[in-house]
Structure 1
Amino acid sequence: MGLRPAAIQASFPALVPRPPLTQNCRIMVIETSPGRVADGATAAAGLCDLMRQHTRELHMQAERSGIIRELLQRRADRLGHGLHLRNLLPAYKALEANLERHSGHPVLGEVRQPALYRGAAILSDLVQLFGPDWEDRLPLLDEAVAYAKRIDAATEADPARLLAHAYVRYLGDLNGGRILRDLMAKALELDDSALSYFAFPQLGNSIAAAADLRAILDQAGSRLPDQTSVIDEAAVAFRLSIGVSEAVKAAAIQLAARAGE
């Protein structure tokens, strides 16, 4: 993993408002064993449960490695947090641009929810934390570029694979984001103006919004003749996210060491 400077154009897809996610559902977590999806399983379970089953070990790995582990254990500083945001931004931009581009797709229409989009919120936090020159202060890592490129390539091959990336990113934000927000606010002494990434003001109750998103993803999955490629893509998305997290941790250590020289 190497550090290299790069610039991200601060442009996001034009968002056409859609009705916000409804808030009359509650999350139901189904514990399943990890492994490949069994033949015929798609008929008995929704897409989200199948992705959860297929990525369970990766999900645990994501929480126990890289900068995420440091954040959860309150060992990360503002640099680590900011570097993480900076290197998640390309993936969100790719995901959200592709959701806009394929908004007319029969499977993706309801998944396109601008209230979920995180690109502009991340940009706002980066400016708050590091000023308008955040791109010069925070390096773009190769792993972040690879993550964004994979989203583009997967979408080109089959737009339905965006369901997997929406599952990994947005359900993670709605669920685990609540925990990280409280940790960041206390450990890094951040106020709400620097915590936009974790806020969903248009959605209200994030637990209900997460349940509603699961229902939307499940409904989208039910329209697929074969869910296998989407389920496999969820594992790819987790591995890429873990790669970014581990690279950010290593880069933060390097940058801190250079600052102390």
Structure 2
Amino acid sequence: MARPFPILAIAALVAFPLPAAAETAGEKEARIRAAIEVCDKGAAVPLDPTALAAPVQFHELIDLADPTRLRDLVAACREAMIGAPGETRLTLQHLRSAIAASNGQRAVFIPDILPLAASASAEANFLLYLVYRDAPLETALAREEAVAALIAAADAGHQSALGAAIVEFRFGPNVVRDASRAAHYAEGMMTMPRQGPTLAGASEEQARAWGRRYLGEILVTGTGFADAERARGFAIVSDLYEAGDRGMLVPYLTALR
């Protein structure tokens, strides 16, 4: 199937509104520099070795209480990308913010995502899966391609991809349910690497805690685990339950049977 023309290429061809007065070279440079700073801070990509700020997970881009924040971020990243062509960091930051703001019209971004995913970007691979998951009938991707992209991102230690892989292998629908693989990715989330080259993301510690929680629950409620693995799961579940996590009641009672 023919791929549509990249939407970011189209965006780059659209001229910005002219300022009220002629802009000097120094003013243009300052404007672009300010846009780059906003984009770098607001849309830094997880596991990007070139990121200059703390990583922002995809779901953290979306602020339902203040939708204008994301629109402003998209505009800043677009200006930064066009003002500094060739900076892959800025291209990916604009791409992910534009996808987040797209209100479900995400399939048009696939031509932009594919070359970045081919360069082994964990975020781009996660975005491929995300676009497919949200509208499988509207994309030119096969399910196998989307799942392979998700696995590549999760295996790289990408926080959001690990969470999605846990859900897929526990509940589907895009892979065959497999408690063992769900446990594998839960442990991967529990021990995932720092998401930024120098700074951690805002939700990393919480995600690691959830990875441990998922692992305990999967090991005591899933099938096919050895006694030693079940014992490990029970130790996690009982520790959480006795610490006051009432969400562990069912797994705790299941383990006691």
TM-score (norm 1): 0.23
Larger Rg: 2
TM-score (norm 2): 0.24
Query: Greater RCO between the two (CA within 8 Å, min separation 6)?
Result: 1
